[in-house]
Amino acid sequence: MDEEFIERVNMEDGFVPFPQVEIIVEDLPLESKHKLISRLWREDGTRANTVDDLPSQQDKARFHELCESCRAGDLEQVDNMVSFGVDVNAIDEFDYTPLILASLCGHEEVVKYLLEHGAICDRDTFQGERCLYGALTDNIRSLLLKFDISKAVDAIQPFAAHIASLLSKIEPSTTDVIFSSSTKPPSTTSVGSAPAESRQFHMHRFILTARSTYFRENLAGRWRSKKLVKLSSSMDPRAFDIVVKYLYSVDIAIGSMELNDRTAQVARKLDLPDLISTLENLKAEESFRRKREHRQDDMRRAQADFERFVQNDVISARTEVPKDEFLARKESFCTVPVESTADILLSVEDDEGEMVVLYPTHRAMLIRSEYYMTMFTSSFAEGGYSVSDLEDQDGKKTLPIVALSASRQVADIVLRYLYTDRVDIPGAIALDVLYCADLLLVDKLKSLASVALTHSTDEDDETAISDPTVGKHATPLYANIYDILRAGWATRMDRLERFAAKYFADNLAHFIVQDDFADIVLESAQRIRSRDETDTIELIDDIRFYLAQKYGIIFEDDMDPVTGKVQEGPWRKITNYERQYNAELDLIDGLLERLDLDA
C-alpha cells in the first residue's frame, strides 16, 4: 500500500473510493477485508484491532458479547462489557465496530454511551463515514456528528480523573509531601523570559512512588522522613509543574517551545522516558484523534503503574496477625516502615476469623468510595486523622487503623478496584464483593460483581457449584440461587432478580416442590406489600415472563387475559410447547393457592 492512497482516504472527506479498495484486495488476496482495513488503520497510526488481534480468548468472547449487546440495545450489558475493558473501537469479522452496530440498529442510548466511553466516529475515516451513513435515525446521526470527543476524555477514565483531582482536592487533606521551588530565577532562563515565581507543590508520596522510579528511590532514600523537599534552583517551577501534572495524569498542554524543551530536560533528569515522548508528541502538530490516542496511552500507562503499585505496595505489603494478639495489643501492630507511603491501615479478618490482615493503604484512594469520603471528612474520630499526626520513631511510623468487615479476598478485590478501576472478580466470591461494595457505596463495583456472579461459568471452574438435584443441563452457579435473589433484593441489583427469575423459570419443575421456593415467593409477596398495595408478586410475574420466553409464547392474543394461559380455539391447535407452558403455569397457580396468595 502506497502512501498516496492513504493520503487520499484521509483527505477526501467522506468519499471512499471502493474500486481502489477492490484493486488492493486483488493485490493482497490472502488477507480478509477486515484485516486489511485494520492494517490500513494501523499504518495510518490509528488503533483499530480486529477481533483476532485481541490478546486473550476471554477478551474475544467479551468483545463478541459487546457486539451482540450493541445489536440488541442492551445498555446494561454494554456497560458491563466496557467496564471489563473491552476495546470499544475494535472491529469484528464483518468489519463492524460496536458503534456502527448500535448506530445501524438505532439504539441511541447505546450510541451515546459508546461515544462517552471512547468510541470514535471520525468523518475522516472509512469506519467513521460508514457509521454516519448507516445511522438509523437523524437523532443518532446528529449525535455522532456533534459529539465532542474532548469532553469525553475524562469520562473514559474515571480513575485518571480521580488521580488528577487529587492535585486540587482540599478536603480531606491527603497530601504528605511538599516540593518547594526556589525563588531564584533558574540560571538556564534565556533572555526575555520572565523570572519564574516560587511555588509549592503539595503532593502524595504514593503517587510519586507509583509513577516514577526516580521518586520511588528518593522518597524511600534521602527524602525519607522529609515533609518539605526543596527543589534545586536550576529547576524551572513551570517545567516542574508540567511534570507534576503528567504524574497526576492531568491532560497537559504546553504553551511555548522553550518550556517544552526545558520540561523535557527535567523529564530526562527525573528519568521519565514516557513524558519525553509525550512532550515530543505535543510538539508535533497532530490531528485531534492522534492527540487523543496519546492521551489515552498516557492514561493507560498511569493505570498500569497503579496496578503494579497496588499489587506490590498494598496487597503484597499486607501483614497477618493472630486475632487474639491483635485485639490484645492493637497499638503494637499499627506501625509500618517509615519509608512506607501509606497513611492508613485497613484491617480485615480472614475467613476463619483467626487472623487479622492489615493493608497499608492510602486515604486518597479510599475516598473513591463515598463511604470513606464521608468517613474522612466527618467530625468523627476517623475525620480527625491527618498526615501530620503520623508519628515517626525507630524507623517506624504509626498509622490509624480502620476496620473493614470483609474477607481478605474481598478486600483484595476492593482495593484493586479503588486503585485501578480494573478488576477481575472470581465468581466464587462475587456475592461477598457485591455485599461489600454495597456497604462501601461503590455502585460500579456492585454491578461488576453482579455481572461476575451471573456470568456463565466455565465448565472446568471448580469453584462453581451445581445443585445435583437440578439436573445436569442446569447451568452451575457460583452461589445458592436463593442467596443470589436475596442479594439482588438487598443490594437493589435488578439484574440479579431477573437472573434468578429466569433460572427458576428454566427449572420450574425442580423448584416448585421445594419449601425454600415457597418461602421466597412469600418473601417476594411481602416485599411488595410493604411498598404499596398492588396485588402482584414481582417474582411470580418475572417467572411467568421467562416461562413465556422459554416456550416462545409471544402473542398476547393467544393468551387468556385472566390466567395467562394459551387458549385452544377453533382456528388453532395447541402445540406441544404451549401445553407445557400451560402446565407450568398450573404449577405456579397451585403453589399460590397453597400459600393462600392472590396474584
Partner 1 sequence: MMSSGKSRVKMRPPRNRDSGDVNFDDSWGILSTAMQEMYRKNASRLSYEELYRTAYTLVLKKHAERLYNSFKTFVAQHLREIVSSELASLASNTTNSLLTSTIGGGGLTSTIAVPLAAADKREGGIRFLKAAKAQWDDHCLCMRMISDILMYMDRVYCKELQLPLIYDAGLALFRDQVIRNNEFQVGEHIYAIILDQIQLERDGDIVDTSAIKATVLMLESLTEDKIDGETVYSRSFEPKYLRSSVEFYTAEAEKLARECDSSQYLIQAEKRLQEEYLRAMSYLSVTSEPKVTKIVEENLITKNIVSVIKSDTSGLTFMINNDRFDDLKRLHRLCKRVDPEKTDLRSALMARIIQQGGEINQNALEVLKHPDKSKGVTAQNAATAAAFKWVEEVLGLKEKYDRILNETMDSDNQVQTSLTNAFSSFINQMNRCSEFLSLFIDDNLKKGLKGKTEDEAEAVLDRAITLFRYITDKDMFETYYKTHLAKRLLGGRSISDDVERMMITKLKMEVGFSFTTKLEGMFKDMKVSNDMMQDYKVHVQNTDPERTIEMSVSVLTSTNWPVSLSTIESHTCVYPTEIERIKRSFEKFYVDRHSGRVLTWNPNMGNADIRVAFRKRKHELNVSTYAMVILMLFNDLADGESLTYEEIKTATSIPDNELIRNLQSLAVVPKTRILTKQPMSKDINPTDRFSFNVGFESQYIRIKIPTVAYINKTETDSERKGTMDKVDELRRYQTDAAIVRIMKARKTLEHNILVAEVTGQLSSHFHPDAALIKKRIDAMLEREYIERSAENRQVYHYLA
Residues 441, 512, 574, 595: which binds partner 1 (CB under 8 A)? 441
CB closer to partner 1 out of 349 and 506? 349
With binding defined as CB under 8 A, does residue 543 bind partner 1? no
Q: What is the Cα–Cα distance from 340 to 220, expressed in whole angstroms?
A: 8
With binding defined as CB under 8 A, does residue 409 bind partner 1? yes
With binding defined as CB under 8 A, does residue 412 bind partner 1? yes
Q: Give the type of residue at 298.
A: D
The minimum distance between CB 448 and partner 1, in angstroms, equals 17
Residues 132, 203, 219, 402: which binds partner 1 (CB under 8 A)? 402
Q: Which helix (H) or strand (E) holds 446?
A: helix 443-454
CB closer to partner 1 out of 200 and 405? 405
Percentages helix, strand, coil for the chain (3-state, rounded to 5) are 55, 10, 35
DSSP per residue, 331-358: GGGSEEETT----EEEEEE-TTSSEEEE
Q: Which helix (H) or strand (E) holds 420?
A: helix 408-420
User: CA geometry: angle at 178 spanning 172 and 184, to 5°?
Assistant: 140
CB closer to partner 1 out of 322 and 384? 384
Alpha helix stretches (DSSP H) within 253-311 = 257-269, 273-283, 288-309
Q: Total residues contacting partner 1 (rule CB under 8 A)?
A: 39
CB closer to partner 1 out of 86 and 485? 485
With binding defined as CB under 8 A, does residue 379 bind partner 1? yes
Residues 28, 145, 327, 381: which binds partner 1 (CB under 8 A)? 381
CB closer to partner 1 out of 270 and 346? 346
258 in Cβ contact with 189 (< 8 Å): no
User: CA geometry: angle at 188 spanning 279 and 247, to 5°?
Assistant: 35
Q: By rule CB under 8 A, what string of x and - marks binding of each residue 479-518 to partner 1?
A: xx--x--xx--x-x--------------------------
Pick out residues in 12-71 that bind partner 1 (CB under 8 A). Answer: none
Q: By rule CB under 8 A, what string of x and - marks binding of each residue 293-332 to partner 1?
A: ----------------------------------------
Q: What's the distance, CA 244 to chain centroid?
A: 25
- HSE toward the beta carbon, residue 427, CA cutoff 13 A: 21
CB closer to partner 1 out of 203 and 357? 357
The minimum distance between CB 355 and partner 1, in angstroms, equals 12
With binding defined as CB under 8 A, does residue 333 bind partner 1? no
The minimum distance between CB 486 and partner 1, in angstroms, equals 6
Pick from 9, 11, 96, 93: which is nearest to 52 by CA? 93
With binding defined as CB under 8 A, does residue 384 bind partner 1? yes
Which residues on adjacent β-strands are paired with residue 347?
358, 403
Residue position matching grid coordinates 493485490 = 27
With binding defined as CB under 8 A, does residue 428 bind partner 1? yes
With binding defined as CB under 8 A, does residue 378 bind partner 1? yes
Give the count of beta carbons closer than 10 Å to the beta carbon of residue 509: 11
113 in Cβ contact with 147 (< 8 Å): no
With binding defined as CB under 8 A, does residue 462 bind partner 1? yes
The minimum distance between CB 371 and partner 1, in angstroms, equals 7
The minimum distance between CB 445 and partner 1, in angstroms, equals 15
CB closer to partner 1 out of 296 and 377? 377
The minimum distance between CB 388 and partner 1, in angstroms, equals 16
Pick from 90, 19, 81, 79: which is nearest to 48 by CA? 90
Q: What is the Cα–Cα distance from 348 to 256, expressed in whole angstroms?
A: 51
Q: What is the Cα–Cα distance from 440 to 445, expressed in whole angstroms?
A: 10
The minimum distance between CB 404 and partner 1, in angstroms, equals 8
DSSP assignment, residue 315? I
Q: What is the Cα–Cα distance from 20 to 593, expressed in whole angstroms?
A: 71
Q: Which stretch binds partner 1 (CB under 8 A): 67-75, 115-123, 458-466, 586-594?
A: 458-466
Q: Which helix (H) or strand (E) holds 9?
A: helix 3-11
With binding defined as CB under 8 A, does residue 435 bind partner 1? yes
With binding defined as CB under 8 A, does residue 403 bind partner 1? yes
CB closer to partner 1 out of 114 and 411? 411
The minimum distance between CB 543 and partner 1, in angstroms, equals 21
Residue 116 C-alpha cell reads as 462517552
Q: By rule CB under 8 A, what string of x and - marks binding of each residue 345-374 to partner 1?
A: ------x------------------xx--x
Q: What is the Cα–Cα distance from 400 to 385, expressed in whole angstroms?
A: 7
With binding defined as CB under 8 A, does residue 79 bind partner 1? no
What are the CA-CA distances from residue 156 to residues 160, 285, 295 (Å)? 9, 24, 11
With binding defined as CB under 8 A, does residue 431 bind partner 1? yes
Give the count of beta carbons closer than 10 Å to the beta carbon of residue 408: 18
Q: What is the Cα–Cα distance from 110 to 97, expressed in whole angstroms?
A: 13
With binding defined as CB under 8 A, does residue 531 bind partner 1? yes
Residue 565 C-alpha cell reads as 394461559
The minimum distance between CB 344 and partner 1, in angstroms, equals 11
The minimum distance between CB 462 and partner 1, in angstroms, equals 6
Residues that bind partner 1 (CB under 8 A): 351, 370-371, 374-375, 378-384, 402-405, 407, 409, 412, 426, 428-429, 431-432, 435, 439, 441, 462-463, 465, 467, 479-480, 483, 486-487, 490, 492, 531
